[in-house]
């Protein structure tokens, strides 16, 4: 078999289909449409079954904790009567230390059920440890493929720490330099081993997080007697937000505002050798968040089950300095030491709480464990070694890749909104470029995908050379 890069890429869809046991073709319809909801029923799991599987494998039922001291700090810098109560769902208490255990639990369960001997995941972060941990529970072999080093052999401390964790759980870790070889090597390993693709973006990877959305609502009702007004999700590839929102919608009919939050890394290219070690966040940033929300099917499966644009109500960014500041704030004021990536949503929640009245509730949807290279001090030391300037000042002056600016006062922590209408238009553009003709069903699909309306979609379609079936060319 020809294992050249070009040949492997040509057969990528066949490799991916075989490795997850899903016939994606059966969900395809018309020109760009596919049956998303039918695909999400793959495996035929109920939410109750998902929770039972997870409880049996050390996942879920994590505590919802009120950050009373941080809430008081918010109220000191809010106008009278404002400053919502902030809660955090402490997902660091899952066995592998993050909410990713929920995604891995269903993938590994399904792999075992289907008779696969092992699982493979391509990831540089918490998901690798989650897959390795769950694979150990199910007696599965595990390979984790990491994009770890630049061309000089210098590795991100956070990624190196995750390799240690994966190996501790018994996984084999394949470490690569930044660039296109990650996906190529991943496909080769899937083909050579016949292992299950424990992708973040299969239906199983999204189903596993629905239990988190359900728990958020149930826990909040038990503690406060009301559902949360807002849930803030750190957003990268979109699965975190998608699964959480779906779980919330299945649990309550009351409106819960879903906010996505990413670290602003504008100007840094995620697959660039020079930029690789100039960023202090390997996930939860705009380098993943924006491309994946505008074009979700860029993942390692033919159709991604992570489609955040269907569910997101608001999308905001925060700076690296603000997140590091809130990471220390959580430790010093609440006695909870957690990793910076998970605290992206905490930094956003702090700013958003100032906009909300005191009787409102905002939930930070997840936390992650921290240690060694994942610790914020290790990340900041690495930044200094790479010539990044660190200082206190106005975080909005921060230039990704050149500076990390900590707020000199807490009232300077703020969010910057990303215009969702622009993102929706860009999403439609990306879809329309695939075809010269669309159907009425395609239009309905775009309405659902962009969480908009038919007039909005049709007005956008008119801008492009595409024919709507039934219209005269």
Helix/strand/coil percentages in the chain, nearest 5: 50, 15, 35
CA pair distance 241, 316, nearest whole angstrom: 13
Spell out a b/e string for 386-403, using b for 16 or more CB atoms within 10 Å of the CB, else e: eebebeeeebeebebbeb
Distance CA 239, CA 209 (A): 8
Q: How far is CA 143 from CA 101, 200, 201, 215, in A?
A: 16, 15, 17, 31
Cα 41 from Cα 59, distance rounded (Å): 21
Residue 113 reports pLDDT greater than 80:
yes
Whole-angstrom Cα distance, residue 106 to residue 14?
Answer: 22
pLDDT in tens, 159-172: 999 999 999 999 99
pTM listed for this prediction: 0.96
Q: What is the pLDDT of residues 86-105, one digit of tens each?
A: 999 999 999 999 999 999 99
Looking at residue 265, its pLDDT comes to 97
State pLDDT tens for residues 311-354: 999 999 999 999 999 999 999 999 999 999 889 999 999 999 99
pLDDT of residue 434: 85
Task: Enumerate the CATH 3.40.50.1100 domain ranges in the chain, comma separated.
Answer: 26-47+98-203, 62-96+209-418
Closest CA to 342 of 144, 83, 85, 88: 88
CATH of region 62-96+209-418, choose from 3.40.140.10, 3.40.50.1240, 2.60.40.10, 3.40.50.1100 = 3.40.50.1100
Report the C-alpha gap between 261 and 451 in whole angstroms.
18
Residue 210 scores a pLDDT above 60: yes
Query: Are residues 186 and 145 in contact, defined by beta-carbon separation less than 8 angstroms?
Result: yes
Residue 26's φ and ψ, nearest 5 degrees, are: -70, -15
Higher pLDDT, 5 or 250: 250
* Mean predicted confidence (pLDDT) in 277-294: 94
Fold type of domain 26-47+98-203: Rossmann fold (3.40.50)
pLDDT at 370 > cutoff 90: yes
- Tokens representing 296 are 């979700």
Give the residue from 290, 280, 377 showing the smallest Cα distance to 319: 280
Nearest CA among 448, 452, 199, 442 for reference residue 303: 199
Per-residue pLDDT reduced to its tens digit, 400-447:
999 999 999 999 999 999 999 999 999 999 999 989 899 999 999 999
Position 254 confidence tier, pLDDT thresholds 50, 70, 90: very high
Q: Beta 361-364 vs 437-438: how paired, if at all?
A: unpaired
Confidence at residue 348, expressed as pLDDT on a 0 to 100 scale? 98
Instruction: Provide the mean pLDDT of the chain.
Output: 95
Q: In terms of Cα–Cα distance, which of 253, 244, 263 is closest to 315?
A: 263
> What is the predicted pLDDT for the residue at 470?
67
Q: Rounded to whole angstroms, how far apart are CA atoms 391 and 368? A: 26
Confidence of residue 471 (pLDDT cuts 50, 70, 90): low
118-122 β-sheet, strand order: 172-177, 141-149, 118-122, 196-197
What's the pLDDT at 378? Answer: 94
User: Sign of dihedral through CA atoms 12, 13, 14, 18?
Assistant: positive
* pLDDT confidence of residue 313: 98
Given the DSSP bridges, would you call strands 257-263 and 314-318 parallel, antiparallel or unpaired?
A: parallel
The pLDDT assigned to 60 comes to 96
Q: According to the model, what pLDDT value does residue 37 have?
A: 95
Condensed to tens digits (0 to 9), the pLDDT of residues 44-71 reads: 899 999 999 999 999 999 999 999 999 9
Contacts of 335 (CB under 8 A, 6+ apart): none
- Beta bridge pairs of residue 146: 175
- Comparing 20 with 473, the larger pLDDT belongs to 20
């Amino acid at each position: 078999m020809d294992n050249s890069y070009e040949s492997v890429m040509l057969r990528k869809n066949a490799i991916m289909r075989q490795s997850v046991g899903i016939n994606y073709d059966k969900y395809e319809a018309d020109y760009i449409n596919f049956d998303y909801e039918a695909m999400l029923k793959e495996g035929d799991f109920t939410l109750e079954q998902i929770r039972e599987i997870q409880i049996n494998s050390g996942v879920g039922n994590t505590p919802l904790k009120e950050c009373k001291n941080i809430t008081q700090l918010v109220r000191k810098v809010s106008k009278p009567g404002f400053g919502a109560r902030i809660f955090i769902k402490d997902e660091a208490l899952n066995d592998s230390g993050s909410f990713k255990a929920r995604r891995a639990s269903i993938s590994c369960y399904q792999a075992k059920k289907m008779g696969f001997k092992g699982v493979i995941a391509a990831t540089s972060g918490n998901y690798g440890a989650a897959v390795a941990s769950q694979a150990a529970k199910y007696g599965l072999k595990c390979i984790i493929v990491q994009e770890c080093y630049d061309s000089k052999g210098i590795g991100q401390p956070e990624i190196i720490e995750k390799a240690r964790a994966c190996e501790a759980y018994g996984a084999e870790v394949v470490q690569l330099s930044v660039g296109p070889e990650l996906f190529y090597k991943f496909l080769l390993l899937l083909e050579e081993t016949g292992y299950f693709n424990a992708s973040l973006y299969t239906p199983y990877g999204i189903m596993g997080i629905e239990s988190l959305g359900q728990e958020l609502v149930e826990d909040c009702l038990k503690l406060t007697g009301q559902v949360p007004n807002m849930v803030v999700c750190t957003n990268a590839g979109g699965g975190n937000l998608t699964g959480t929102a779906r779980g919330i919608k299945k649990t309550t009919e009351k409106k819960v505002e879903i906010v996505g939050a990413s670290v602003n890394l504008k100007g840094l290219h995620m697959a660039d050798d020079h930029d690789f070690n100039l960023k202090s966040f390997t996930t939860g940033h705009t380098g993943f968040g924006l491309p994946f929300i505008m074009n979700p099917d860029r993942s390692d499966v033919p159709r991604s089950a992570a489609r955040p644009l269907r569910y997101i109500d608001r999308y905001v960014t925060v700076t690296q300095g603000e997140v590091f500041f809130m990471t220390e704030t959580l430790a010093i004021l609440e006695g909870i030491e957690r990793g910076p990536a998970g605290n992206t949503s905490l930094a956003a929640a702090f700013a958003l709480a100032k906009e909300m009245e005191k009787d409102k509730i905002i939930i930070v949807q997840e936390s992650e464990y921290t240690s060694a290279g994942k610790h914020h001090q290790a990340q900041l030391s690495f930044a200094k070694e790479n010539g990044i300037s660190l200082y206190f000042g106005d975080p909005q002056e921060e230039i990704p890749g050149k500076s990390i600016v900590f707020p000199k006062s807490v009232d300077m922590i703020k969010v910057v909104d990303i215009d969702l209408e622009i993102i929706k238009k860009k999403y439609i553009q990306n879809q329309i470029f695939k075809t010269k003709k669309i159907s009425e069903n395609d239009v309905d699909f775009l309405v659902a995908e962009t969480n908009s309306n038919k007039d909005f979609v049709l007005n956008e379609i008119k801008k492009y050379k595409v024919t709507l079936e039934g219209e005269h060319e």
